Amino acid sequence: MIKKRRLVALFDILGFGQRLQTDSLTKVQRELRRLIRQIRSKSATESATNDKDGDDDNLEHVRFAFDSVVLVSLDTAEGRNVHKFIFACVALLELGFKHSFPLRGSITLSDVFVDEETGLLLGDQFPQLRDGEAMQEWTGCFVHPPAEEMIYREITGSVPIEEKKLNPDGCDPLIWSEVPLKPAFASRSPMHAWCVNWGYFLSASQIERGLAFMAPVPSKRQHTERFLARIHGLTSDAQLLEGPVPPGTYIKTLRSRYGMVVRFVDKAGNPVPMPAATLRYTVSGKADSKVIETQQVDTRAMRQSDDA
């Protein structure tokens, strides 16, 4: 069956051969299965309660093949599916970095042929994804031009694109950034694109551990460190909470026009275990961007242990 206009991402797991040599195959497959389950789950892309009943899957297809991962979105005619796809990519990159599976990849718009019987997955833009993944020298993910307009519209709304390029916020799922390229692709530098903001929720200790794993390839490590430093230098939406929460608890959000992901952290950005409660709060945004407003979070549904 051919599925029209789907967002597709191709990721390569950096240092995968190294992991296979240092960890047991059982441990590696268990952690990869865990990552797949998490990115497919609604909890990876929605902390608020404004999602539609029964709408609980983020992706139509996920395929792992040795050190590569392919994600295929649900029907992009529904704007919420664009949100779910981008936030699933955010979750995959963040979780991979924290669990020593750093990823590098790109996203495009493609028609996709899927054969459920054989597992065959083909797309007319797959060569573009292959080339996009191979040229990068960091842990990160950028959006190819064919997908830019759709993703920007559904994630950001009608905020002028040049305004968002020049003045990003830490809570933006996409950041206009230079994409680090390997020396063999120096003729294409500087290359700028919308890049997935996967580092906003990381604490200093998580960043330190993730970068330590990348130390064997200094150039990838340095480019990744520079991107993370930029993300954490942007304006943060962290707000100190009051009420039935541990003292010094802040709330941080990553948000689009269709929803948000919420994290509870301390001043250093470390996850804070929350008591079972329902918290209500208001998120402000530009009136024409359709950013959600009053929301509530059931803390029992949040897996703080996954962020450790």
Confidence of residue 116 (pLDDT cuts 50, 70, 90): confident
Whether 294 shows a pLDDT value over 50: the answer reads no
Which among 229, 137, 133 has a CA at the least distance from the CA of 180? Answer: 137
Helix (H) or strand (E) holding 264: strand 259-265
Whether 26 shows a pLDDT value over 80: the answer reads yes
Q: Is-contact 254 168, C-beta < 8 A?
A: no
pLDDT (0 to 100) of residue 242 = 81
Parent domain of 153: 2-233
Question: Is pLDDT larger for residue 287 or for residue 231?
Answer: 231
* Residue 264: inside a domain: no
* Residue 126: inside a domain: yes
Q: What is the dihedral sign for C-alpha 22, 28, 32, 38?
A: negative
Tokens linked to 11 = 């990721």
pLDDT (0 to 100) of residue 20 = 81
d(CA 33, CA 12): 16
Tokens linked to 15 = 């240092």
pTM for this model (two decimals): 0.86
pLDDT (0 to 100) of residue 280 = 64
d(CA 193, CA 210): 24
d(CA 126, CA 108): 9
User: CA separation (Å) from 94 to 38, 41, 203, 228, 260?
Assistant: 11, 15, 11, 11, 16
* Residue 295: inside a domain: no
* Residue 262: inside a domain: no
Task: Compute the average pLDDT of residues 55-59.
Answer: 71
pLDDT (0 to 100) of residue 273 = 81
* Residue 17: inside a domain: yes
* Residue 182: inside a domain: yes
Tokens linked to 168 = 């990003």
Task: Compute the average pLDDT of residues 90-104.
Answer: 93
| CATH code of the domain covering residue 221 | 3.30.70.1230
Question: Is pLDDT larger for residue 292 or for residue 158?
Answer: 158
> What residues form DSSP beta bridges with 65?
68
Query: Any long-range contacts for 247-253 (C-beta under 8 Å, 24+ apart)?
Result: 249/274, 251/281, 252/171, 252/200, 252/201, 253/47, 253/171, 253/283
Task: Compute the average pLDDT of residues 115-144.
Answer: 89
pLDDT (0 to 100) of residue 279 = 63
User: CA separation (Å) from 72 to 51, 197, 239, 262?
Assistant: 20, 19, 34, 24
Tokens linked to 36 = 């797949």
* Residue 81: inside a domain: yes
Whether 86 shows a pLDDT value over 90: the answer reads yes
Tokens linked to 222 = 């340095």
Q: How many domains does the chain have?
A: 1
